[in-house]
């Protein structure tokens, strides 16, 4: 009996050692896989920057443009009229595209700032963001178009260079500035908004101007939203709600 028990204990000890060895091997494989993944991310996107969380894979709701975009142009304090106007637009867009209202508010503010700088209709910029990416700053297409305005870095490296190169394409402010510059360039080339938009989409051969129809249709919807808000009865009705929202959230700033 004693001999049998000893043999049994030896067998259990050997089995335990084998199991521990397998666990150790699995752990080593997992660590090696994680290191390989980090190396791939570093190779493609550079080192992760804690100041700039617009890295591929982050959820949109975790992004706050006003605090985290390194390339956002400075914005002076908004006037009450502008803030109300931007909030009306952001309320509509947040419901339409099912994204954070605060994120949309910051993007609407950014679009107006960039639009004024480049003498381009801010509502057109906002409409392009909606059609191109549904306001997702980390959107990427199969052909390599990236970010809010779906810029293709390999075609516009000189425009991204002032922002640090191609990896800045996922920064919302850099993407909107570059996308706006591209559209302005196409406007100068063609002298026609419809042709410029079709060129922006890479669809000049589309005689039906499908892309132009989508963008201009979205801009028209934004104009209608503002027209309803501008009606005296609507502004009077919505003023208390906007005042309460502004007092709770405080005016947004893009830094």
109/166 same-domain check: yes
How many structural domains compose the chain? 2
Give per-residue pLDDT as tens, 208-236: 999 999 999 999 999 999 999 987 655 55
2/117 same-domain check: no
170/240 same-domain check: yes
Give per-residue pLDDT as tens, 36-51: 555 544 444 444 343 3
Q: Degrees (nearest 5) of the Cα angle 66, 141, 137?
A: 5
Query: 71 φ, ψ to 5°?
Result: -110, 10
Q: What CATH number corresponds to the domain at position 100? A: 1.10.530
With respect to residue 255, please indicate whether it lies within any of the assigned structural domains: no
Cβ atoms within 10 Å of 72's Cβ, excluding its own: 24
Give per-residue pLDDT as tens, 82-119: 999 999 999 999 999 999 999 999 999 999 999 999 99
With respect to residue 234, please indicate whether it lies within any of the assigned structural domains: yes
The residue range of the domain holding 93 is 60-249
Compute the distance between CA of residue 97 and CA of residue 81 in angstroms, rounded to an integer.
24
With respect to residue 238, please indicate whether it lies within any of the assigned structural domains: yes
With respect to residue 89, please indicate whether it lies within any of the assigned structural domains: yes
Q: What is the mean pLDDT of the chain?
A: 78
Compute the distance between CA of residue 90 and CA of residue 73 in angstroms, rounded to an integer.
19
133/78 same-domain check: yes
């Amino acid at each position: 009996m004693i001999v049998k028990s000893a043999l049994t204990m030896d067998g259990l000890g050997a089995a335990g050692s084998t199991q521990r060895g397998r666990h150790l091997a699995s752990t080593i494989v997992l660590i090696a896989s994680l290191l390989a993944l980090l190396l791939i991310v570093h190779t493609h996107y550079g080192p992760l920057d804690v100041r700039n969380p617009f890295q591929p894979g982050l959820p949109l709701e975790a992004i706050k443009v006003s605090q985290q975009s390194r390339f956002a142009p400075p914005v002076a304090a908004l006037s009450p009229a502008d803030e109300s106007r931007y909030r009306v637009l952001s309320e509509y867009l947040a419901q339409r595209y099912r994204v954070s209202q605060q994120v949309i508010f910051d993007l609407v503010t950014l679009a107006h700032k960039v639009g004024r700088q480049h003498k381009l209709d801010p509502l057109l910029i906002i409409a392009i963001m909606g059609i191109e990416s549904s306001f997702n700053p980390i959107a990427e297409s199969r052909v390599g178009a990236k970010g809010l305005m779906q810029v293709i870095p390999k075609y516009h490296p000189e425009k991204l260079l002032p922002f640090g190169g191609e990896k800045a394409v996922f920064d919302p402010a850099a993407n909107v500035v570059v996308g706006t510059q591209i559209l302005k360039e196409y406007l100068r080339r063609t002298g026609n908004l419809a042709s410029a938009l079709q060129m922006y989409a890479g669809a000049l051969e589309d005689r039906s101007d499908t892309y132009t129809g989508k963008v201009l249709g979205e801009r028209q919807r934004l104009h209608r939203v503002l027209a309803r808000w501008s009606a005296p009865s609507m502004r009077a009705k919505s003023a208390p709600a906007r005042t309460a929202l502004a007092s709770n959230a405080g005016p947004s700033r893009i830094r």
